[in-house]
Chains A and B, each alone.
Chain A
Amino acid sequence: DIVMTQSPDSLAVSLGERATINCKSSQSVLYSSDNKNYLAWYQQKPGQPPKVLIYWASTRESGVPDRFSGSGSGTDFTLTISSLQAEDVAVYYCQQYSTTPRTFGQGTKLQIK
């Protein structure tokens, strides 16, 4: 199974500042056949299901604010929130969908400093 490891486990950032969450996979999720990274990022607020923010490592889902961006390739990925807003307080998960079983990172809790 591919193990997804996120860092940090929790993060406190001031409003308007940049937040960065990292995700490392135990093996590459880049497929040479299509040159795509099978990596998604989700946001989960309390009492709600997860919501996809980013897929293919860097493609923003329709309707997601452009302050959210994803980067990286192979085994190392980053979710960046360029200017933190109050409504961004949540837990963030990365997920690989390249192999079975699909696996998620342990989550990063983002709070306001």
Chain B
Amino acid sequence: QVQLVQSEAEMKKPGASVKVSCEASGFTFIGSYIHWVRQAPGQGLEWMGWINPNSGGTKYTQNFQGRVTMTRDTSISTVYMDLNRLRSDDTAVYYCARGVNGDYSWFDRWGQGTLVTVSS
């Protein structure tokens, strides 16, 4: 079955970086865009950007430009989201999600989420 399995929770200090992984299975990895969405505690959903696993192309929202990098390793069907210069307000659950219909797509499968806590 289609699955996105994310890495475990992380605790980081302000100014540090975090790398979250998302391993895909049950579908053609290079056939769907993978998006990243985050959710701060008790808050709504915030889209961060996408990566095209086929080309490696990316698009990020302006809010994270310069701080976020999305990459992929096609040999292990895994995408990564790197966020640097962490601040306390980056504390959130980070989700990867599949865009089944190309770039302009709803998200039909989600990872289980990775909690990133930023605290001194």
Give chain A's interface residues, CB within 8 Å of chain B. Answer: 38, 40, 42, 49-52, 55, 61, 93, 95, 97-98, 100-107
B72 close to chain A: CB less than 8 A: no
Given A49-B95, A49-B112, do A104 and B106 touch, yes or no (CB 8 Å)? no
- Chain A residues with CB below 8 A from B111, complex form: 49
Give chain B's interface residues, CB within 8 Å of chain A. Answer: 35, 44-47, 59, 61-63, 95, 97, 99, 104-108, 110-113
CB-based nearest B residue for A100: B59
Are B106's CB and A40's CB within 8 A? yes
Are A61's CB and B104's CB within 8 A? no
Q: In the complex, what distance in Å separates the CA atom of A52 from the CA atom of B105? A: 11
Given A49-B113, A102-B47, A104-B45, do A97 and B105 touch, yes or no (CB 8 Å)? yes
CB-based nearest B residue for A49: B110
Are B106's CB and A101's CB within 8 A? no
Q: Can you list 17 A-B pairs, Cβ within 8 angstroms, ordered by A?
A: A42-B107, A49-B97, A49-B110, A50-B45, A52-B107, A55-B106, A93-B44, A97-B99, A97-B105, A97-B106, A101-B47, A101-B63, A103-B47, A104-B44, A104-B45, A106-B44, A107-B44
- Chain A residues with CB below 8 A from B59, complex form: 100
Most buried by B among A40, A55, A95, A102: A102
Are B110's CB and A93's CB within 8 A? no
Q: In the complex, what distance in Å separates the CA atom of A98 from the CA atom of B103? A: 9
**3 interchain residue pairs of minimum CB distance:** A49-B110, A40-B106, A101-B61
